[in-house]
């Protein structure tokens, strides 16, 4: 769900607003909120500032700017306009006691759910179209694995058995059959922000950098908070593996620190797994090796924004198959 625009029409039949859907929420400007709630732009600005001053919402996580081209006479001028997410819109709606706010919240929530369902359905159709091809190839891999296992000792191919899981993972990546969902669907134990910061502080002595772990903005805190969000009782990320993969991705890609983003992301990823008893399997063996951790983190860092879904699926698949 990236850069979608829907037209919202109020119950009065007159209010029409172009609503941006991005990053699993909706975004409106102050001018659009003024239209929605039939308030002045200055009044909307006052309520937004109050919701931040009172600590109701974190500004870094709920506002973003966007370049917009505006006509000024005969000239076209680029201006930055702040857009606010659904949390801010709902807060302002309560503050101005607007029934339009309730109607908009219900509409926006339903559309977000629709987008999630549609996205899931599209992926299911694509998956079913490839099902026969993937099944045939997997059968071949299983037959080959059995043959290798039977002859390994005679032909000294036991090293190949050791890498069978990795070969199968590569096959799933090539055929877009990586795991979309994690295996562990239970209540998450979320480390406090202070616990993550303790880990970052403890790492500083290992790296010769005066700016290691120094935050540039609030994007780190936003990444930590994001994995616990959802619609009511429905989590955006229903499984622990999805939460862990999202945390790793967001910290790497948000570049919230002057130095050490990848190292910090990997450490916080491990802390979340450890806090949820997922870092080791039943035999007490770590489910992710040092090399795998480094490779996944570098893979995320080198990826393009449009590759986010695939990258997260790879992390989830690694966690699922080693659990």
pLDDT tens by residue, 251-265? 999 999 999 999 999
Q: How many domains does the chain have?
A: 3
pTM of the model: 0.51
More confident residue, 104 or 223: 223
257 and 164, same domain (yes or no)? no
306 and 197, same domain (yes or no)? yes
Per-residue CA distances from 84 to 87, 102, 153 (Å): 8, 17, 63
Mean pLDDT over the full length of the chain: 79
238 and 167, same domain (yes or no)? no
153 and 103, same domain (yes or no)? no
69 and 187, same domain (yes or no)? no
Instruction: Please report the pLDDT score of residue 19 as a whole number.
Output: 81
239 and 307, same domain (yes or no)? yes
Residue 94: band (very low, low, confident or very high) from pLDDT cuts 50, 70, 90? confident
56 and 138, same domain (yes or no)? no
What's 288's domain CATH number?
1.20.120.1870
Look at 142-146, 151-155, 222-226, 315-319 and tell me which has the smallest mean pLDDT.
151-155
Instruction: Give the residue numbers spanning the domain of 240.
Output: 181-322
Contact indicator for 199, 268 with CB cutoff of 8 Å: yes
198 and 316, same domain (yes or no)? yes
pLDDT, mean of residues 307-313: 87
108 and 241, same domain (yes or no)? no
Long-range contacts of 45-51 (CB under 8 A, 24+ apart): 47/91, 47/92, 47/95, 47/96, 48/84, 48/88, 48/92, 50/95, 51/88, 51/91, 51/92, 51/95
Instruction: Please report the pLDDT score of residue 46 as a whole number.
Output: 93
Q: 177-216 burial string, b = 16+ CB within 10 Å, else e?
A: bbbeebebeeebebbeeeebbeebeeeeeeeeeeebbeee
More confident residue, 227 or 204: 227
Q: For tokens 């071949």, what's the residue?
A: 140
pLDDT, mean of residues 202-213: 81
135 and 203, same domain (yes or no)? no
Boundary-marking domain end, from 121, 138, 165: 121
87 and 186, same domain (yes or no)? no
Instruction: Please report the pLDDT score of residue 273 as a whole number.
Output: 94
Which of 316, 8, 52 lies closest to 169 in space, CA to CA? Answer: 316
Contact indicator for 207, 214 with CB cutoff of 8 Å: no
Instruction: Please report the pLDDT score of residue 116 as a whole number.
Output: 58
Residue 96: band (very low, low, confident or very high) from pLDDT cuts 50, 70, 90? confident
Boundary-marking domain end, from 83, 104, 121: 121
């Amino acid at each position: 769900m990236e850069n979608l625009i829907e037209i919202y029409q109020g119950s009065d039949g007159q209010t029409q607003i172009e609503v941006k859907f991005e990053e699993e929420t909706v975004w409106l400007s102050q001018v659009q909120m003024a239209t929605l709630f039939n308030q002045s732009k200055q009044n909307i600005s006052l309520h937004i500032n109050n919701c931040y001053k009172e600590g109701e919402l974190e500004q870094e996580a709920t506002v973003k700017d966007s370049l917009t081209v505006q006509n000024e006479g005969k000239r076209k001028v680029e201006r930055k306009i702040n857009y606010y997410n659904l949390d801010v819109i709902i807060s302002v709606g309560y503050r101005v006691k607007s029934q339009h706010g309730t109607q908009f919240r219900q509409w926006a929530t339903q559309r977000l759910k629709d987008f999630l369902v549609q996205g899931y359905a599209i992926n299911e159709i694509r998956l079913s179209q490839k099902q026969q091809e993937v099944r045939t190839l997997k059968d071949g891999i299983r037959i080959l694995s059995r043959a290798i296992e039977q002859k390994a000792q005679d032909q000294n191919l036991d090293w190949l058995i050791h890498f069978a899981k990795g070969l199968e993972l590569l096959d799933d990546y090539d055929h877009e059959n990586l795991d979309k969902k994690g295996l562990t669907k239970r209540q998450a134990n979320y480390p406090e922000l202070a616990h993550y910061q303790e880990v970052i502080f403890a790492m500083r002595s290992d790296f010769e950098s005066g700016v290691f772990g120094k935050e540039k903005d609030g994007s780190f805190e936003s990444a930590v908070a994001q994995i616990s969000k959802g619609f009511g009782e429905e989590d955006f990320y229903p499984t622990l593996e999805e939460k862990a993969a999202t945390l790793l991705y967001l910290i790497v890609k948000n570049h919230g620190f002057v130095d050490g983003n990848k190292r910090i992301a990997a450490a916080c990823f491990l802390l979340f797994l450890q806090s949820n008893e997922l870092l080791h399997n039943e035999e007490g063996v770590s489910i992710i090796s040092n090399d795998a951790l480094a490779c996944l983190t570098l893979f995320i860092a080198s990826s393009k924004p449009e590759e986010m879904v695939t990258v997260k699926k790879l992390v989830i698949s690694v966690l699922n198959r080693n659990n």
